[in-house]
Structure 1
């Protein structure tokens, strides 16, 4: 049988009901044979896992994903036809909502006394929203110029939030003036720290992400992304700088914690002239000692002393990894920015 005849017969089956949609056909034909990663953290790539009908459920950039206590995978895109897509772990679409976040970028899930809420950052509208899981807005944090903490001319482009142990809200101004802004759970301003600098350790160049690090329960910390300088930076909850974790070649996205492990999507790596290169992303995984143990899609981590050798893309599996979500079986779901409307890719732990 020729390839053309095979495809014709396959499509005919789809019309008569053997497949529910053209995307089911793509799933059935996808080889999904790539194995990536290193050591104990290797994965089988499932490119077609999250594919949907792009006419009904389009995405621009798949920015971030979280998993709620019902094991639903909730993904944020900046496509206002459906800002939120909700999957089950098989890749089936369960629900969608949202048409008001043209710059939807950061997505944080927080369990507040048994009830879960979302925090959405929109760098276009320059606001942060606390919502219910079905999209009802409960709190809005506006541009800090309205409370006198920024001047009218100061840039504000919020990219991420995290929630402290007492409910305080931390906002990363990653596309703006490079501050971390701290608010109470009710949205009352407490302080800001950081700011824009290439030189000073306690300041940032693209503080793209932030997360609460509770791996030491006695000493919770803030883990902040400094993408342009290839660092994660650690701060106390009141904004005092502690140290930096330098990952040469790695232009990382937000830190994501699962148990003792830290995961991050790498948006770019430094393939050419030690500078960031388009379409050069991968995933990086660090252990409890903040050492890289695996780079799915990237080169193997090699340490000489305390810092790793430069790490870059090894296989062109990804373009620009923007976020990683980890399920209970330690499978990963990778969201991408500027990747031709690509839906999330599943990495099955093997």
Structure 2
């Protein structure tokens, strides 16, 4: 029995409230301020803690909290685009453990990869066109060549990388989500292999804003890639060598990168809609969660997902909790940490699973 299930059982038998049941029993939160409103649907419901990651903004400023990953020691690495501190390192209680910078003014994508016990971070800066591999304390160990220098792009093609994913053999996949809309594949040493995708509204195998890419190993015998096509309100699946396989359409959701955890996919909805208003700049974000069959099962902060005759209906923000949800991190108790873009410099929120 995992800790979350144990605590839920204990709370039911003792008559205790469920406010802190997602927190390890040996650590009571010192600053937990949980909202009374339950977010989400079905088995994926949460209590909100807005102040979880709050710090002194004069000492630890953030412009945008872009992405977050958790390493094997349960340290949470959060990427910001403030050059004073590109990385803030938290524990699960919200305590700041470390911070450092690579002086990146547009730090955007953050991926953690374990190489036989040694963990590394892959960081993208779309404004500078950089893809960097670093140690957990910020030492750069590799930087990928710009596509125009290796024959992948011509000199006129824009390269503004937004995300990376690492394949089972160490291959590096780079999503050029703000540039030319390709997924570029390099080997573990940084040698270019191929590119796939490209820019098109109409072609299923191509993208509009290829914002994210992630390795999907839910079928261990057949690992694939899940890629975001934000403006197409879709995730797209590709083989590891770039063959297009399928699309998961999610009406109304301008999604960020996919986060694979167990059998589920999580994603921040960076831009939402209003009924009849397709303005992408509306700060109507929330979180979306898909099951093992790639069906939407919960939208914390959004409307309940409804399927009619097998067709997913339009999903909208339901509660004005979030502005632009840019990323979601999942801990081992299935609590969520939500990073936001263009949200007034807020620090990450924590969603406690109930």
Q: Does the 8 Å contact 1:258/1:326 carry over to 2?
A: yes
CA drift at 1:99 = 3.9
Distance in 2 between the 1:176 and 1:136 partners?
A: 27
Note the 1:1-350 alignment, pairs <5 A: 30=33, 32-275=35-278, 276-350=280-354
Distance in 2 between the 1:282 and 1:332 partners?
A: 12
Segment of structure 1 superposing worse, 130-139 or 149-158: 149-158
Q: Does the 8 Å contact 2:32/2:49 carry over to 1?
A: no
Q: Does the 8 Å contact 2:301/2:319 carry over to 1?
A: yes
Q: Does the 8 Å contact 1:66/1:325 carry over to 2?
A: yes
Q: Does the 8 Å contact 1:126/1:142 carry over to 2?
A: no
CA drift at 1:32 = 2.4
CA drift at 1:167 = 0.2
TM-score (norm 1): 0.91
CA drift at 1:143 = 1.9
Distance in 2 between the 1:234 and 1:29 partners?
A: 39
Deviation digits for residues 321-349 of structure 1 (CA, Å, limit 9, x no counterpart) = 00000001100000000000010000000
Distance in 1 between the 2:223 and 2:257 partners?
A: 17
Larger radius of gyration: 1
Distance in 2 between the 1:141 and 1:278 partners?
A: 34
> Deviation above 3 Å: which 4+ runs of structure 1?
27-31
Gaps of 5+ in 1: 1-26
Gaps of 5+ in 2: 1-29
Deviation digits for residues 140-177 of structure 1 (CA, Å, limit 9, x no counterpart) = 01321111211111111000000000000000000000
Distance in 1 between the 2:236 and 2:34 partners?
A: 39
The secondary structure found in structure 2 opposite 1:271 is: coil
Distance in 2 between the 1:313 and 1:122 partners?
A: 29
Q: Does the 8 Å contact 1:117/1:130 carry over to 2?
A: yes
Distance in 1 between the 2:243 and 2:52 partners?
A: 42
Q: 1:271 to 1:348 in 2, by over 3 A?
A: same
How many matched pairs? 324
CA drift at 1:307 = 2.6
